[in-house]
Amino acid sequence: MTAIEPNATVAVVGAGTMGRGIAQVALTAGHPVRLYDAAEGLAAEAVRAIGARLDRLVEKGTLAAAERDAARARLHPATGLDDLAGPALVIEAILEELPAKQKLFSELESVVPEDCLLATNTSSLSVTAVGGALRRPGRFVGLHFFNPAPLLPLVEVVRGAATDPAAADRAHATVAAWGKTPVRCADTPGFVVNRLARPFYAEAFRLHEERAADPATLDAVLRESGGFPMGPFELTDLIGQDVNEAVTRSVYESFFQDPKFRPSLAQRRLVQAGLLGRKSGRGWYDHAAGAERPLPHTAESCAAPGELALQGPLPIACAALRGMIEEAGIAISEKPGPGARGVDSGGFVLPGGTELSLTDGHRATVATGPRIHFDLALDYRTCDRIALAPSATAPEADVRAAIGLFQALGKRVSVMGDAPGLIVARTVAMLVDFAEDAVGRGIASPEDVDTAMRLGVNHPRGPLEWGRAVGAGWVRRVLGNLHTEYPDGRYAPSQPLLRRAAVEESLL
């Protein structure tokens, strides 16, 4: 399917933050652009603001002065909906209210050409509902740009229940021709990125509520072990607690209060108290001038054990550790028999007899003996930090030996409370499950899911890629055990994940 003609007019309705950004994208792609806003004088002001942004691009040397002049000449404020100059595409970016958007599209339908594509930039409403009042909803799509639109590459192309596949194809091709990276998705609450990213925030908030670790430690472990560019506490302080919580609540309500999407009470309290993050001076952290950022828990230096036993094959998710330990000069002797808890759930045995293993989603404190769980890492070789959770019965000497072991591998160590699944493993298991579930339900293709999460929220790898790296069987085990620990349904593995794990097992 082909994009709209390069010289066809694009109209943008709503000249606020997003409308301006989207207008700039269409303009620099070469289109004549009409910008309309209901607030008097705002479209003209937005035209001036976009002109100033183009000036800055010329100063930075990323846009030629002649191109800037041509772009300025193609951009016009519109005085009303009947002044949109026969557009080939209208993108709406007005306030996030369903009746206002429905009314606008009903009015637009009678003034734009028959073959004009109609698109909404809604981030939380159903695309099907926004187009619900149209006489011909087939040409209606969602085009979900991210803020700031001129800089961020991802655009979710959302097909509503009544969208013609050809219209979605045309919108997709158009956005691709503008140099963006479009991903296709069905009309689902939060689309791909806002639906699939929920556990990244929720798991850390839950662990904090359970007093497993403080925000600084959870942020540091997710960054330095999980490879996420920012932890959830610092990221939501940047986004705004109110903005992040509104998305969570909207997705939760849209899923009929499914516990998988349950919002955080602690975050609710922040919002109620006006502790919104950087913009209000305080959120999870204090952002006042001169305020000191709390440090993550980092264990003091401990001696590494001289030797370790290994019982059963390590899960593939942490298989690299064996070679790393040997390279560090720590001898590993093999203890015969499978891992303590099944085929690929092997682990180390510390000198004092404590089992040291990758978390399996259970608490470490179990009746069968002392245990220390360590967390998942994006890459054990390159990560800077590892989290440990000792059982209540683990002898102090073995806790120190486990800390010393990871320090000997060049890692900082954060000791957490005995929380099932620790933080990276728990978060990743949920991200993988949400992604498998979305693909299984036809929300988006596997490739588009991974692209959306890498570009939309800067995750270090797509969730499905992560699932392949750790194995669906391990994810199923972690979630199954978390489901036993917290039987509220939140961690119940999805059918597509169970199917994937069964296929993986049958290939062994």
Ligand X SMILES: NC(=O)c1ccc[n+]([C@@H]2O[C@H](COP(=O)([O-])OP(=O)(O)OC[C@H]3O[C@@H](n4cnc5c(N)ncnc54)[C@H](O)[C@@H]3O)[C@@H](O)[C@H]2O)c1
Which residues make up the interface to ligand X (CB under 6 A)?
13-19, 37-39, 42, 93-96, 100, 104, 121-123, 145, 147
3-state secondary structure of 284: coil
Q: Which is nearer to ligand X, 254 or 393 (CB)?
A: 254
Which of 437, 439, 378 has its CA nearest to residue 411?
378
Which of 388, 465, 424, 406 has its CA nearest to residue 222?
424
Angle of the 232-239 helix axis to the 198-209 helix axis, nearest 10: 110
Residue with tokens 């540091």: 220
**CB 256 → ligand X: shortest distance, Å?**
22
**CB 156 → ligand X: shortest distance, Å?**
10
Beta-carbon count within 10 A of 227 CB: 17
- Amino acid identity of residue 501, one-letter, is A
Q: Which is nearer to ligand X, 21 or 32 (CB)?
A: 21
Q: At a CB cut-off of 8 Å and minimum separation 6, what does 211 contact?
A: 417
Do the beta carbons of residue 204 and residue 222 sit within 8 Å?
yes
Residue least distant from ligand X (Cβ): 16
**CB 39 → ligand X: shortest distance, Å?**
4
- CA separation, residue 19 to residues 27, 107, 185 (Å): 12, 19, 22
**CB 496 → ligand X: shortest distance, Å?**
28
Cα separation, 368 vs 375, whole angstroms: 20
DSSP secondary structure code for residue 197 in this structure:
T
**CB 104 → ligand X: shortest distance, Å?**
5
162 burial level (CB within 10 Å; 0-12, 13-18, 19+): middle
First to last CA, the chain: 42
Q: Which is nearer to ligand X, 98 or 415 (CB)?
A: 98
3-state secondary structure of 161: coil
**CB 94 → ligand X: shortest distance, Å?**
4
Which of 402, 421, 439, 401 has its CA nearest to residue 475?
421
Catalytic residue among 194, 225, 250, 481: 194
The reply to whether 345 belongs to the active site is no
Beta-carbon count within 10 A of 23 CB: 29
Q: Which is nearer to ligand X, 17 or 368 (CB)?
A: 17
β-bridge mates for residue 120, sequence order: 92, 142
**CB 170 → ligand X: shortest distance, Å?**
21
β-bridge mates for residue 75, sequence order: 33
**CB 457 → ligand X: shortest distance, Å?**
13
Catalytic residue among 92, 109, 156, 245: 156
Which of 247, 204, 210 has its CA nearest to residue 427?
204
Catalytic residue among 31, 92, 123, 357: 123
DSSP secondary structure code for residue 263 in this structure:
P
Rg of the chain over all Cα atoms, to the nearest angstrom: 26
Q: Which is nearer to ligand X, 77 or 493 (CB)?
A: 77
Q: Which helix (H) or strand (E) holds 184?
A: strand 181-186
**CB 452 → ligand X: shortest distance, Å?**
14
* Count of positions (residues) in the chain: 508
Cα separation, 393 vs 404, whole angstroms: 19
The rounded Cα 37 to chain-centroid distance in angstroms is 31
Q: Which is nearer to ligand X, 14 or 283 (CB)?
A: 14
**CB 356 → ligand X: shortest distance, Å?**
44
The reply to whether 123 belongs to the active site is yes
The reply to whether 144 belongs to the active site is yes
Q: Which is nearer to ligand X, 16 or 417 (CB)?
A: 16
Give, in degrees to the nearest 5, the angle at Cα 230 between 456 and 290. Answer: 135
Which of 125, 114, 341, 377 has its CA nearest to residue 246?
125
The rounded Cα 403 to chain-centroid distance in angstroms is 31
Q: Which is nearer to ligand X, 147 or 298 (CB)?
A: 147
Q: Which is nearer to ligand X, 147 or 257 (CB)?
A: 147
Q: Is 179 left (phi over 0), alpha (psi -120 to 50) or beta?
A: left
Catalytic residue among 31, 76, 144, 208: 144
Q: Which is nearer to ligand X, 283 or 467 (CB)?
A: 283
Active site residue ranges: 123, 144, 156, 194
